[in-house]
Structure 1
Amino acid sequence: MTNSTLAGLPHPYYPIEAQLVGYLANDWSVPTLVGAFAAGWAGILGVTLMIVSSLRPNLRTADKLAVLWFILSGAIHLFFEGYFVVNHTRMAPAQDFFGQLWKEYSLSDSRYLTSDPFVLCMETITAICWGPLSFLLVYLILSGSSLRHPLQIIVSLGQIYGDILYYATSMFDHYYNGLSYCRPEAYYFWCYYFFMNFIWIVIPSHYLWESVSITSRAIKSLDVTSKSRKTK
């Protein structure tokens, strides 16, 4: 570790004046990092699908997809984002697998290397709340529990809300304060910053709408039944 890295310079992140004390460049290539990350999640989802197919062979395809989504969400929220929460003060020099993944992603948002208060608070809530609750949702789906849809509304709405705030705070700094956390290359903005986060708006919106619709129909049915009994 050289004197320049101890002083937080040089580094490839924006803004260029950001102080990243002890920064070390990744020693894994981008294809290796992304490939290993994708392979890990593919393995988790593959094993989950085999277990679910064995335990609940008659489970609807839509419910199997929901199980896979919440397993993926739970694992990323609890383990990957939880890693950041625990290690946020040592992200710049981190050289383990998750640390290097976060440094690669941080080319699109350097707040992850500077213990930004909003990002840290948002990720803490995500890891502590939405991670475990996503795993609980998997159990509720497999068991056919009536609690599935109330909890699915809570988790999905929480994911959407956190993502919107994530975008909003970054865009506010960009347009109002003239401060950009993303490198100028379009790849980092559209692939890392936009697409990889937008997933957690699009898919949770589907599950939020599904649960709200089912809950609404159930309440209407209950109201009809209740009124019918009163008229007898």
Structure 2
Amino acid sequence: MEAIANITRLETPVHPYYPLEIQIVGYVANQLSVPHLLVSFAAGCAAIFSITTVIVTKIRPHLPRSELLTVLWFVLSGCIHLFFEGYYVLNHTRMGGQMDLFGQLWKEYSLSDSRYLTSDPFVLCMETITAAAWGPLSFLVAALITTESPLRYPLQAIVSLGQLYGDVLYYTTSMFDHFHKGLSYCRPESYYFWGYYFFMNTFWIIIPLVLLYNSVTATARAFKIAEQTAGKTRQKKLN
């Protein structure tokens, strides 16, 4: 029995993720450096912004700057949701051994949340919904804004509320485990918590809140104008 236990310990790869006792199937340490990974991610975002700006300005040369920024946000969200988070959904059972760029990016981020390397049920379900629903719909909202479709506002509200809801649950489930069960999925170094876990996810709370507010106020204005127009029409008929 002791020999079997020793073999088991030898077969269990050492990893830097918390809690230290979690099992990560097929774990292999990243080969790319952290600066390389961060620069690659930033370069990908810059490429998305550049290509989107060129396409959108050709379609609508006089698109207001605020609207262009909103389009860029939804295109970036669509790419991250559909391709990056979709990658996780497809590979969640073997994330520990993934050595391509997306795999190593996920393993770097997972230093702030190891649930991504253990097929955590909540994270997997949340990311599946995000990739399948909010990814394609983000691209659709970007197209609707570019073409000045009035459908933009209800769909913008739906996507923004979905992003906000998912991110709030993501934070609260982790905090519940931390305070109620004493489980921490983040390494103790503060930059992992504040840089990766907090800062990177805060965008999907602040920006969706602003866009949700814009959608609600735009919808309210539209109903008010419609009611005023209907009232004037009724008044004319009475006269």
CA drift of 1:143 comes to: 0.9
Out of 203, 207, 229, the residue aligned to residue 211 of structure 2 is 207
1:78 is matched with which residue?
Answer: 82
Q: Which residues of structure 1 form unaligned runs of 5+? A: none
Partner of 1:145: 149
Q: Which one of 2, 26, 31 corresponds to residue 27 of structure 1?
A: 31
Residue 13 (structure 1) aligns with:
17
- For structure 2, the residue ranges without an aligned partner over 5 or more in a row are 1-6
Asked if structure 2 preserves the Cα contact closer than 8 Å seen for 1:6 and 1:22, the reply is no
For 2:205 and 2:11, locate their aligned partners in 1 and report how far apart those are by CA, in whole Å: 38
Q: d(CA) in 1 for partners of 2:55 and 2:164?
A: 29
> SS at the partner of 1:21?
coil
1:97 equivalent among 93, 98, 101: 101
User: Is 1:47 the equivalent of 2:51?
Assistant: yes
Deviations 1:100-143 (A, max 9, x none): 00000000000000000000000000000000000001110111
Per-residue deviation at 1:86? 0.3
Instruction: Show the counterpart of 2:183.
Output: 179
Instruction: Find the counterpart in structure 1 of residue 60 from structure 2.
Output: 56
How high is the sequence identity, in percent, across the aligned residues? 63
Offset from partner CA, 1:144-182 (integer Å, 9 cap, x none): 111000000000000000000000000000000000000
Mapped to 2, the partners of 1:87 and 1:66 lie a distance apart of: 30
Give CA-to-partner distance per residue, 1:182-221, whole Å, 9 cap, x none: 0000000000000100110011111111111000011111
Provide the C-alpha distance between the structure 1 equivalents of 2:57 and 2:68, rounded to a whole number of angstroms. 8
> Counterparts of 1:6 and 1:68 in 2: how far apart (Å)?
48
Q: State the match for 1:124 in structure 2.
A: 128
Candidates 209, 230, 236, aligned match of 1:226: 230
- Provide closer, same or farther for how the CA distance between residues 6 and 68 of structure 1 changes in structure 2, counting only shifts above 3 A: farther
Q: CA deviation at 1:30?
A: 0.3
SS at match of 1:91: helix
SS in 2 for 1:92: helix
Partners of 1:24 and 1:188 lie apart in 2 by 20
Q: 2:118 aligns with which of 91, 94, 114?
A: 114
TM-score, normalised on structure 1? 0.96
Paired residue type of 2:154:
P
Provide TM-score, normalisation by structure 2: 0.93
CA 74–6 in structure 1, closer or farther in 2 if over 3 Å, else same: farther
How many residue pairs were aligned? 230
Cα deviation 1:20-54 (Å, max 9, x = unaligned)? 12110000000001101111110111111112122
5 and 59 in structure 1: CA distance in 2 versus 1, 3 angstrom threshold: farther
Q: Which of 115, 136, 139 lines up with 1:135 in the alignment?
A: 139
- Aligned in 2, Cα 1:8/1:132: closer, same or farther, shift over 3 Å? farther
- Runs of 4+ in structure 1 off by over 3 angstroms are 3-8
Secondary structure, aligned partner of 1:103: helix
Q: Is the 8 A contact 1:163 1:200 kept in 2?
A: yes
